[in-house]
């Protein structure tokens, strides 16, 4: 038996540790979706990351941020101090829509919360 954990197991351990350390920061319904590895409307960017793992992203920072602000700082700040920044995160999982299998999708955030989730064409598929 291998002592090495799969990426899925490592991710689950990380998520469980975050939820244990900050039990009052993430609502129970959102915690359930994170553990199911599904992004839902109303999640903050960090919650979406906990749910879906690795991502690509784009940030249009609110004018309160200095020019050249680190986009990660802007994105992660939305959990506790949402502003008018606009954020797009793209994920690829087989858990968002289990009946569809591996699916790429983009999540759009305004005022620090997911307001739109759209599927994208997977590699090798037409537009």
* Residues of the domain holding 58: 7-120
Query: Residue 86: pLDDT above 80?
Result: yes
| Helix, strand, coil % in the chain, rounded to nearest 5 | 30, 25, 45
At what angle are helices 45-52 and 28-35 packed, to 10 degrees? 30
- Separation between Cα atoms, residue 54 and residue 61, nearest integer Å: 21
Assign 127 a pLDDT band (cuts: 50, 70, 90).
Answer: very low
Predicted TM-score (pTM) of the model is 0.88
The model's pLDDT over 24-47, given as tens digits with 9 standing for 90+, comes to: 889 999 999 999 999 999 999 999
The 8-class DSSP code of residue 44 comes to: -
Question: Residue 127 domain-assigned?
Answer: no
- At residue 76's C-alpha, the angle toward residues 110 and 41, to 5°, is 40
Helix or strand holding residue 120 (H, E): strand 113-120
Query: Residue 90: pLDDT above 80?
Result: yes
Question: Residue 15 domain-assigned?
Answer: yes
Question: Residue 28 domain-assigned?
Answer: yes
16: left (phi over 0), alpha (psi -120 to 50) or beta: alpha
Residues 96 and 53 sit within 8 Å (Cβ to Cβ): no
Indicate the number of domains in the chain.
1
Question: Residue 125 domain-assigned?
Answer: no
Question: Residue 37 domain-assigned?
Answer: yes
Question: Residue 55 domain-assigned?
Answer: yes
Question: Residue 84 domain-assigned?
Answer: yes
Question: Residue 83 domain-assigned?
Answer: yes
In this prediction, residue 124 carries a pLDDT of: 53
């Amino acid at each position: 038996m291998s002592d090495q954990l799969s990426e899925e197991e490592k991710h689950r351990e990380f998520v469980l540790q975050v939820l244990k350390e900050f039990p009052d920061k993430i609502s129970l319904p959102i915690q359930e979706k994170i553990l199911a590895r599904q992004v839902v409307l109303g999640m903050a960017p960090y919650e979406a990351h906990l749910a879906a793992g690795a991502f690509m992203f784009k940030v249009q920072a609110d004018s309160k941020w200095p020019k050249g602000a680190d986009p990660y700082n802007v994105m992660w700040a939305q959990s506790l101090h949402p502003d008018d920044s606009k954020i797009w995160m793209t994920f690829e999982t087989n858990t968002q829509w289990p009946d569809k299998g591996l699916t790429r999708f983009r999540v759009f955030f305004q005022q620090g919360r997911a307001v739109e989730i759209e599927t994208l064409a997977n590699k090798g598929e037409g537009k």
